Amino acid sequence: MARRRIDSIIVGERQREDLGDLDGLMASIRDWGLLQPVVVDADGDLVAGGRRLEACRRLGWTSVDVRHLGELSDPERRMLELEENIRRKDFTPIEHSRAVVGLASLVRSLARLENRADPARNPRGGRPPKPGSYRDVQQRTGIPEATIRLAERHVAAVDHYGALQEAPQDAAVAAAKALDRLGEPDRAPLLMALERGMLTANQVAAAAERRWRVTDLPRHLAKQIGTAPLLEALNGVEPYYVDAAAGVALLCGDALELLPKLNLEAIDLVLTDPPYNVRRAYPNGDQRADYATWTRAWFELVPRPMVVSPGTTNLALWWAMQPPDHVCAWLKPNPCSGSAVRGWNVWEPLLVYGTLPKKLAQDAWSMPVGPQIDAAWHPCPKYLPFWRMLLGETTNPGMLVLDPFAGSGTTLLAARDLGMACIGIEADADYCALIVDRLEQARRQETGAA
């Protein structure tokens, strides 16, 4: 072992080009010195220890302990550099997390014994951290607070669920969080599948989340989106389809006949996209001579608040019937329908009647319309991503939504995605069957069922 000036060590071409974050290494060297010397050959060419050397340089050291290996050829020097990095075994994810947690614990103990913060560790001045706090440990070790906290969660996850021993850090933490929300009967088969290598930790996390949404989530929100609120609102009306776990029900029939039979006081919001009377290719047609009278009839039946998408051609009718309390707009960067004044229609009005359950952060949203393969059978399906966003902006999870013109079932799907209950009404029996197909497909995707 010898001492050598740092500026005399020759750093040539190195296999490791990125030295990474040196803060932690610098903190260790500052506190404990250089535990492993830098290795050089007889000519002063660096063989091993590039990160250690750079850390010492940044600490302001002018010389370091070195180990001389004598004269080496260039191939021998390169071989030793590669051997040092390749043969070294890295920590497994859990070994790394346990090491971080262990180091943080030791540093906390020392800091509390000192019962003071080192001013040298707070070069910017200001109030020093509390001895042993996460911030103090970060300053003493150079390990970010977020890294320490994540390592602690990782260790706790593996200690509780031994099957996560080999899982990557993020996957183990996510899986443990999802498993914690399940009861033992639902948790056991997932852990068994993980132990046998049938599922990865990420797959377990996803499966546990789906299982929770299907079983525990409805029970967790039973007072809000369970069977009881649906039964209260249905008021004895037999649904065409019901998924009590998801809190959605579909009625097949004429809205003018069914609405008076429902307990509409249980409804928190009406969100609907009624027929526009513009010759769309619906099974029963979309043209009716009494459109204005028919619209007023159902408009007077539904409760408030209501958000309705009447189409641009019907704005005058709605204004004459009753001016809305507010007007919102959906801006469509990719126009998909013709305008009555020729050209393309690039926006869609959304009329608000009554006071919404949530205060709107804005009253206009821009979202292009994308393909909807699962609703291609409908001539004018509402775009699910936008409808889901609109429902989330206007209503709270757990509330009960009514759509008297279910159409392609978009409101029902959006509500179940957001943890809201929903009753949809659709007059056409064929559409009802297709809506059920969409709802069942969503249920299968959620539960992982075939």
Asked if residue 179 is part of any domain, the answer here is no
Q: Tell me the β-bridge partners of 251.
A: 425
Asked if residue 111 is part of any domain, the answer here is no
CA distance 255 to 302: 10
pLDDT of residue 296: 95
Two tokens, residue 241: 């389809």
* Distance between first and last Cα of the chain: 68
Residue 356 belongs to domain spanning: 222-447
How many CB atoms neighbour CB 124 within 10 A?
Answer: 4
Asked if residue 136 is part of any domain, the answer here is no
pLDDT of 155 > 60? The answer is yes
Residue 10 has what DSSP assignment? B
Q: Which residue has the higher pLDDT, 225 or 388?
A: 388
**Residue 387's domain is classified under what CATH number?**
3.40.50.150
pLDDT of 116 > 70? The answer is no
pLDDT of 245 > 80? The answer is no
Domain boundary among 86, 106, 125: 86
Give 263-318 pLDDT, tens digit per residue. 999 999 999 999 988 655 444 445 678 889 999 999 999 999 999 999 888 888 99
Stretch 235-249: mean pLDDT, rounded?
86
Nearest to 249 by CA among 221, 271, 225, 284: 225
Asked if residue 97 is part of any domain, the answer here is no
Domain boundary among 86, 106, 137: 86
> Cα angle at 239 between 234 and 245, to 5 degrees?
80
Identify whether 305 is preceded by a cis peptide bond (ω within 30 of 0).
yes
pLDDT of residue 394: 94
Asked if residue 165 is part of any domain, the answer here is no
250 in Cβ contact with 435 (< 8 Å): yes
Phi, psi values for residue 248, rounded to 5°: -125, 145
Number of domains in the chain: 2
Two tokens, residue 141: 């070790």
Give 390-415 pLDDT, tens digit per residue. 999 999 888 899 999 998 999 999 99
Alpha-carbon Rg of the chain, whole angstroms?
33
- DSSP string covering 292-359: HHHHHHHHHHS-SSEEE---GGGHHHHHHH---SEEEEEE-SS--EE-TTSSEE-EEEEEEES--SS-
Two tokens, residue 143: 């390990």
pLDDT of 218 > 50? The answer is no
Record the pTM. 0.51
Two tokens, residue 75: 């191939």
pLDDT grade, residue 142 (50/70/90)? confident
Domain boundary among 37, 70, 86: 86
The amino acid sitting at 19 is L
Give 22-65 pLDDT, tens digit per residue. 887 888 888 778 878 888 888 888 888 888 899 999 999 999 88
Give 7-17 pLDDT, tens digit per residue. 898 888 776 77
**Residue 12's domain is classified under what CATH number?**
3.90.1530.10
pLDDT of 327 > 90? The answer is yes
Asked if residue 250 is part of any domain, the answer here is yes
Stretch 107-113: mean pLDDT, rounded?
80
Asked if residue 200 is part of any domain, the answer here is no
Asked if residue 80 is part of any domain, the answer here is yes
